[in-house]
Amino acid sequence: MYLCGSNKLLQIQHGVIIVFCSMRVLLIGLIGLWDFVALSQDSLLYKEAYTIRYENDLFTGTDRYYSQGIFLQYDHLDIDLKWLNKFFFRVPDIQRSLQTGIAQKVYTPSSITSDSLLLDDRPYAATYGYTAKFSSRSRSKNYTLSWSLNTGWIGKPAFGKETQTAIHRWTNNNKPLGWQHQLKNGLSINLSFGVLKTWFTKTKWIRTELGSFTTIGSLTNETRALGMLKLGYIANQKQFFVYYNPEVRAVAYDGTLQGGLFTKPSEARIASKEITHLVFEQELGFKILYKHFSCGAHVHFQSKLFRSALSQAWGGISLSYYF
């Protein structure tokens, strides 16, 4: 997802999330799995934003695999604190952006009505955690270098069972069974590095971007390449645009399928030889911004993640406040 700030960039990414910060205070908490992908560089009149985002596959009429995600995120688009500046890469004509946030993601097998262990199916799993991302944009060269640190949990401490059960009760859907077979508890620590190049930054009608991001850690080991095309009206306090975001991921290890690298193996895990190591994804969406508020919606498509899996789609909505 993409959100922007004034004369500066606000990047709210595919997989991203919020923490409550001010210009001089960074609240540090827990983390789990957080996919932060820098995707936009647009001019607005604000430097900070809070965003809440919700994803669920029920938006696309299914109930399997990636079941839901809840993201809360704070962004500061032009931060300049002496003690914090040393954490940013150095680039010409620098603009520093800080993104922090918390996220919970919940995963289930293809059927949630069986109390038995479903072998050769996606295991029950949940992640919860905190991410801090440091982005250095070169205003004159229109590229961004970034790195992020993700820390958190996989397993029962992420409260996947409790969250999904409550939402299904509120929406009058089937009670999920089988959470006793979820992947084992474990600490997750991931470190990511990325580069992003942007074109057409001086126009009001189009943006294009290409980027690459690599993640290493106890939960995720992968490299991803992505693009983004935005079409619409993109200027100052009023925006309306649609976007298309294709992505390919080279996956070495996926802890949401295989369990944490340093945790006790789970009987429900997917074997390494069954993992699909090249995954294709696409996202289509829109965003509307007027003055201090923006809203957006998207639908996301993902190819199968392991040999016996199906492809998947889910939808999401977001709301942001700029100041």
pLDDT for the residue 263 = 87
Strands 94-108 and 220-235: unpaired
Burial class (CB in 10 A: 0-12, 13-18, 19+), 217: buried
Element holding 238 (H helix, E strand): strand 238-254
The pTM of the full predicted model, rounded to 2 decimals, is: 0.84
Distance of alpha carbon 35 from alpha carbon 50, whole angstroms: 17
pLDDT for the residue 202 = 87
pLDDT for the residue 291 = 86
Chain mean position to CA 61? 21
pLDDT for the residue 235 = 78
pLDDT for the residue 234 = 87
The CATH code of domain 48-322 reads 2.40.128.140
Nearest CA to 148 among 315, 11, 8?
A: 11
Q: What residues of the chain score a pLDDT lower than 50?
A: 1-41, 43
82 CB neighbour count, 10 Å cutoff? 6
Per-residue pLDDT tens digits for 37-77: 333 445 457 889 999 999 999 899 988 999 999 999 999 99
Average pLDDT of the residues of the chain:
87
Give the CA-trace dihedral at 190, 299, 199, 234, to 10 degrees: -120
The domain locations on the chain are 48-322
